[in-house]
């Protein structure tokens, strides 16, 4: 048993702080885009779905911190909060498609294919939840930080700014 693991804990703590800052940024953007006189429905919807995605990401990181910092396995919560974030990301891509499909066929196709790809992540997270949520009482398993960071990095690269 290698938990708690201080370096991994630090990675997740810094990731959680990053999620809080990014959530605050999107909330301020939503305040501007969702209010009169400059109401922009597409931008407002995008900002709000980003907030949902980022709060889900924060929840996932906090659940991972319970393992890395305290040895408490909450992978079930990680899978469920990631799946909620996946749905928010898919919603954001569909909002982008609604805006792009009238002006740019390439951007439209990119958005729609991205949404389908994100639904695939949702299905993967739900399948993982079926396993992680039905394990019963067990000792925490080691998480590959490299794999987790690669997954998080991929999600950040796919995000529309």
- Does residue 32 sit within a domain? yes
User: Into how many domains does the chain fold?
Assistant: 1
Q: Pinpoint the alpha helices (H) of the chain.
A: 6-33, 41-70, 75-100, 105-132, 145-158
Residue 160 confidence (pLDDT): 43
What's the pLDDT score for residue 105?
94
Q: Does 147 reside within a domain?
A: no
Domain that holds residue 77: 6-137
Check pLDDT > 80 for residue 84.
yes
State the average pLDDT over residues 37-51: 93
pLDDT score for 134: 85
Cis peptide leading into residue 127 (ω within 30°) = no
CA 124 to each of CA 5, 23, 80, 134, 147: distance values in angstroms, whole numbers, following the listed order = 27, 25, 11, 16, 15
Report the predicted TM-score, pTM, of the whole model to 2 decimal places.
0.80
Report the pLDDT value the prediction gives residue 1, as an integer from 0 to 100: 46
Q: What does pLDDT average to over the chain?
A: 86
User: Is residue 152 in a domain?
Assistant: no
Does residue 63 sit within a domain? yes
Q: In this structure, which long-range contacts are made by residues 86-89, counting pairs with CB atoms below 8 Å and at least 24 apart in sequence?
A: 86/118, 86/119, 86/121, 86/122, 86/125, 87/122, 88/49, 88/50, 88/52, 88/53, 88/56, 89/49, 89/53, 89/118, 89/121, 89/155, 89/158, 89/159
């Amino acid at each position: 048993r290698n938990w708690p693991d201080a370096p991994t804990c630090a990675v997740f703590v810094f990731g959680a702080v990053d999620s809080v800052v990014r959530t605050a940024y999107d909330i301020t953007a939503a305040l501007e885009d969702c209010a009169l006189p400059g109401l922009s429905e597409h931008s407002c919807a995008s900002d709000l779905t980003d907030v949902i995605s980022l709060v889900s990401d924060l929840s996932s990181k906090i659940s991972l911190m319970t393992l890395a910092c305290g040895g408490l396995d909450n992978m079930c919560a990680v899978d469920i909060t990631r799946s909620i974030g996946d749905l928010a990301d898919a919603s954001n891509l569909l909002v982008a498609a609604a805006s792009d499909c009238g002006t740019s066929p390439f951007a439209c196709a990119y958005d729609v294919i991205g949404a389908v790809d994100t639904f695939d992540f949702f299905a993967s997270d739900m399948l993982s939840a079926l396993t992680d949520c039905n394990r019963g009482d067990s000792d925490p398993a080691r998480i590959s930080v490299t794999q987790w960071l690669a997954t998080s990095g991929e999600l950040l690269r796919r995000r529309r700014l």
